[in-house]
Amino acid sequence: MDLDYGEELEGFRADVSSFLKREWPLAGDEAKLSLGEQARLFRTRAIEEGHLCRNIPKQYGGSEQEPDVLKAQIIREEFAKAHAPTEPRGIGTMMLVPTLLERGEEWQKEQFVPDTIRGKTQWCQGYSEPGSGSDLASLKTKGELVGDEWVINGQKIWTSGAKTADYMFCLTRTEPEAGKHAGISYLLIDMKQPGIDVRPLRQMTGGADFCEVFFSDAKTPKDWIVGKRGEGWQVSRTTLKHERNSIGSAQQTRAILAGLVQLARESKINGKSALEDPQTRQRLAIIEGYVRAHQYSGYRTLTKDAKGESPGVITLMNKLISTNIGHEIAKLSLDLLGDEGLLGAGGGMETMGRSGQWISQYMYSLGIAVAGGTANIQRNVIGERGLGLPRDSAAERSSNA
Amino acid sequence: MNFDLSEEQVMLQETVKQYLENECPPNKLREIFDGDVGLDEGLWRGLAEMGVAGLHLPEEYGGAGLEMLDLAIVSEVVGYMAAPGPFIGHALAGLAIALGGSEAQKQKWLPKLATGDALATVAFGEEGGAWLPDQWTLPRGKQLSGSKSYVIFADHADVIVVGTQGGGLSLVERGAAGLEIKPVDGADRTRRLCHLSFADTPCEELPDGDAAAPRVRDAGLVLLAADAFGGATRLVEMSVEYAKTREQFGVTIGHFQALKHQLADMAVEVEPARGLYWYAAHALDHVQDEAERTAAVAKAHITDRYMQVARDAVEAHGGIGFTWECDVQIWFKRAMLDRAYLGTPAVHRERAAVMAGW
């Protein structure tokens, strides 16, 4: 066991760090550009240097580096330290780009990948529907081929970023006669067209990050399909195998925990600092146990990835672990806020004072618990894929249909 | 960056596990658990012959000179198998002598402890949960008078490392005058407990005992955490296995989401803790400024997880889980010992809070 990166990798770290000192933040006239412009400019340089988009071929705008999870981790650490932009965080880079690289046509990769990884085009994901949540394959949004175009009718929901997205990747029922899963195609759709109506959904926090999307004869060209007709379900599963490492989230959580200790220091219980309250001290230490276990698990996963070995069942657990920790942090923060827990969240994270941020976090932790598969769905995944328990019989029947 | 076990370490774990699977199968474990003695000399001798008794002791005294992590991963296997025996007390006593003993004391005891020819244990606990060096009140001196509580297999030990007032350590040998050893009806019958009383009992102080005691305490916390991780892992496996075989309503009960979710939650409580005990063990040898606090966090966190998972495992097994006949109770009771021995989770969380400046 050795927690150092070793001489060669520390040399690499020094290179990354001096690149960042040179290139970020931007100086002179470039510093006057909009934040988005600055980030795009910087990303282009970081890609040329080989630091970003490492697994994306050069012909599609990536830097095409040898896979190396340790170098990737060092880059993440150094970029985070310098507050420098990394790959755009959206669903486009995380989900669409890997899917296109594996299943897309040549022209699709050329047309969509370079602008997406530089943050020039934004994507949203058209999966969930009002009647299709965990039973996603029951989706009904219809795509009909009329001449050279798909004509789309139906509704998507919980679509994050639909207001600002340029395009959607959308699961659409194009083969109504085929089976449940075999009737679905993966279509790319231009969001800026008259047949699409986007209505923001107001969240319990007061903010509105996700939307309903209504299609009334929306159109997309015949060849804006990834995979063949009826292969959409498989295509959408492509990214599932790219499980995410937990290190980033554990480090964030440690920062939140430090904030929580500070909140306890400033809050009063019976006229004394809450940090002196034995129960508060216990609860903070309990949370720390979970957070640190999560963090070291991340180190282990990183090592396993670097060796090309499977880290095992832990990769299926990271979301539920983060959710559980988020709940505990949220509950303690509300207790510490006392009276201030009567206040609303305010709406936007940036404009809020101390209480607003914690109250918002109190509610957002539930959003995280629900988004991308509720905690109970995660438990099914852990139980079935991780522990080898039998599949739910209703789901079994349906997927055989 | 390599946060993983080496091939040698994986092999060490596998060898110990294989040995225990062969030599301490469920019927044997049950026999020892139910028996009067709780210690199987042959089983312990076999472990000692594999080097387990002196893994962490210096090579010049016949040990293997390995690190705390190596000892901890063996503790994980011992916990996983619920192996009855004196492993933890013996390991801590040897460490105390290696760190705090005079040259003569080391010469006298360490080679015998490393081979398992002599058995050692530690007497740290005192009435009222006073487990930690700064809480000990037994007066020091050339002779001891007073008492110690909850000493693992003291009735079999050739030498006992006794914690004394202000955090010192003294050696008391088997049969010493005025030493009275009274077995306690402990819950965990794989690690039998005794109360000790001393009346002008001759002893020998470890000259560097005061410096060694906190290190021995931290090692103890890490070994308990590792044992707890192993035991909790096993309980999850046993519960999953039961859910895959027990049938109701014509299907195995693992089909039912209520149980599936409970099992998933149990696994999520346990699996991430592996890295925490690894790191705590690694820190004892390599990250001095974090070692003490991390040991406290690991002990508190993992022994608490073990106890909760043990309760869940009983539930997951239904009626059979509540019986003496069901093996779950053996791990349940080891969880009780891991949790309370050397101080409860709450004690160590408060220590962690103080050390963080909270």
b/e sequence A80-90, b meaning 16+ C-beta within 10 Å = eebebbbbbeb
Nearest residue of chain B to residue A319 (CA atoms): B268
b/e sequence A195-216, b meaning 16+ C-beta within 10 Å = bbebeeeebebebebbbbbbbe
Q: If you ran DSSP here, which 8-state letter would residue A245 be given?
A: P
Distance CA A253, CA A250 (A): 5
Q: Tell me the residues of chain A between 262 and 301 that have a Cβ less than 8 Å away from chain B.
A: 264, 275, 278, 281-282, 284-286, 288-290, 292-300
Residue B346 contacts A where some CB pair is shorter than 8 Å: yes
What is the mean pLDDT of the segment spanning B218-226?
Answer: 98
Spot the catalytic one: A102, A212, A243, A288.
A243
Q: Does the distance separating the beta carbons of B1 and A302 come in below 8 Å?
A: yes
Residue B285 amino acid letter: D
CA-closest candidate to residue B342, choices B163, B188, B132 = B132
What is the mean pLDDT of the segment spanning B74-99?
Answer: 98
CA distance A123 to chain B (A): 33
H-type alpha helices, chain B = 7-23, 26-34, 41-49, 68-81, 87-100, 103-115, 209-245, 257-270, 273-286, 288-316, 328-340, 345-355
CA distance B72 to chain A (A): 13
CA–centroid distance for B54 within its chain: 15
pLDDT attached to residue B307: 98
Of A278, A303, A392, the CB nearest to B1: A303
pLDDT attached to residue B27: 96
Q: Which one has a higher pLDDT value, B271 or A347?
A: B271
CA–centroid distance for A274 within its chain: 35
pTM equals: 0.92
Q: Tell me the residues of chain A between 316 and 345 that have a Cβ less than 8 Å away from chain B.
A: 317, 320-321, 324
CA distance A278 to chain B (A): 8
Residue B300 contacts A where some CB pair is shorter than 8 Å: yes
For residue A373, the SS3 value is: coil
For residue B340, the SS3 value is: helix
Do A299 and A3 contact (CB within 8 A), yes or no?
A: yes
pLDDT attached to residue A400: 53
Q: Does the distance separating the beta carbons of A282 and B350 come in below 8 Å?
A: yes
pLDDT attached to residue A398: 65
pLDDT attached to residue A399: 62
What is the mean pLDDT of the segment spanning A196-209?
Answer: 90
| Residue A243 appears among annotated catalytic residues | yes
Of A4, A292, A317, the CB nearest to B268: A317
CA–centroid distance for A207 within its chain: 18
pLDDT attached to residue A348: 46
Contacts of B260 in chain A (CB under 8 A): 379-380, 383-384, 389, 392
What is the mean pLDDT of the segment spanning A149-167?
Answer: 96
Measured distance between the N- and C-terminal CA atoms of chain A, rounded to whole angstroms: 49
Distance CA B160, CA A49 (A): 63
Look up residue B155 and give its two tokens.
């009735």
CB atoms within 10 A of CB B113: 29
Looking at A245-249, A353-357, B33-37, B140-144, which range is the least confident one? A245-249
Look up residue B223 and give its two tokens.
């070994």
Looking at A97-106, A388-397, B134-143, B325-334, which range is the least confident one? A388-397
CA distance B97 to chain A (A): 26
pLDDT at A347 over 60: no
Q: What is the DSSP string of B168-203?
A: EEEEEETT-TT-EEEEE--S-TTS-EEEEEEEEEE-
Strand pairing category for B159-164 and A268-269: unpaired
What is the mean pLDDT of the segment spanning B218-247?
Answer: 98
Of A387, A388, A392, the CB nearest to B255: A392
Q: Does the distance separating the beta carbons of A70 and B275 come in below 8 Å?
A: no
Average pLDDT, chain A: 90
Q: In this prediction, what percent of chain B has a pLDDT beyond 90?
A: 99
Residue A254 contacts B where some CB pair is shorter than 8 Å: no
- Does residue A127 come out as left (phi exceeding 0), alpha (psi in the -120 to 50 range) or beta? alpha
Please report the ipTM that was assigned to this predicted complex. Answer: 0.96
Residue B213, CB-side half-sphere exposure with 13 Å CA sphere: 27
- What are the backbone dihedrals phi and psi of residue A209, each rounded to the nearest 5 degrees, phi first? -95, -25
Cα angle B324-B329-B333, degrees, rounded to a multiple of 5: 125
CA torsion sign for A215, A217, A223, A227 is positive
Query: Residue A88 — pLDDT band, cuts 50, 70, 90?
Result: confident
Contacts of A261 in chain B (CB under 8 A): 356, 358
Sheet holding B193-202: strands in order across?
B143-152, B193-202, B180-184
Do B99 and B211 contact (CB within 8 A), yes or no?
A: yes
What is the mean pLDDT of the segment spanning B317-340?
Answer: 97
Query: Residue A373 — pLDDT band, cuts 50, 70, 90?
Result: confident
Look up residue A84 and give its two tokens.
């420098």
Do A314 and A304 contact (CB within 8 A), yes or no?
A: no
Q: What is the DSSP string of A117-166?
A: HTTSS-EEEE--BTTBSSSGGG---EEEEETTEEEEEEEEEEEETTTT-S
Q: Does the distance separating the beta carbons of A288 and B4 come in below 8 Å?
A: no
CA B49 to each of CA A125, A131, A261, A314: distance values in angstroms, whole numbers, following the listed order: 61, 64, 49, 35
pLDDT attached to residue A255: 83
Cβ contacts from A onto B, under 8 A: 161
pLDDT at A396 over 80: no
Element (H, E) at A292: helix A278-307
Look up residue A332 and give its two tokens.
């303690």
Looking at A364-368, B6-10, B331-335, which range is the least confident one? A364-368
Distance CA A223, CA B50 (A): 67
pLDDT attached to residue B305: 98
Do B108 and B102 contact (CB within 8 A), yes or no?
A: no
Do B39 and B153 contact (CB within 8 A), yes or no?
A: yes
- pLDDT tens per residue, range A242-264: 545 556 677 778 888 999 999 99
Nearest residue of chain B to residue A6 (CA atoms): B1
Contacts of B265 in chain A (CB under 8 A): 379
- pLDDT tens per residue, range B157-190: 999 999 999 999 999 999 999 999 999 999 999 9
pLDDT at A111 over 60: yes
Contacts of B251 in chain A (CB under 8 A): 390, 393
pLDDT at A9 over 50: yes
Please name the residue that has the structure tokens 């220091």.
A265
pLDDT at A350 over 50: no
Looking at A201-215, B65-79, B222-236, which range is the least confident one? A201-215
- pLDDT tens per residue, range A302-325: 899 888 898 999 989 988 998 999
Looking at A240-249, B27-36, B240-249, B288-297, which range is the least confident one? A240-249
pLDDT attached to residue A349: 46
CA B45 to each of CA A363, B92, B111, B113, B190: distance values in angstroms, whole numbers, following the listed order: 57, 18, 15, 11, 16
pLDDT attached to residue B336: 98
Residue A182, CB-side half-sphere exposure with 13 Å CA sphere: 5
Q: Which one has a higher pLDDT value, A242 or A180?
A: A180
pLDDT attached to residue A244: 53
Distance CA B93, CA B91 (A): 6
Q: Does the distance separating the beta carbons of B267 and A382 come in below 8 Å?
A: yes
Q: Which one has a higher pLDDT value, A395 or A6?
A: A6
pLDDT at A293 over 80: yes
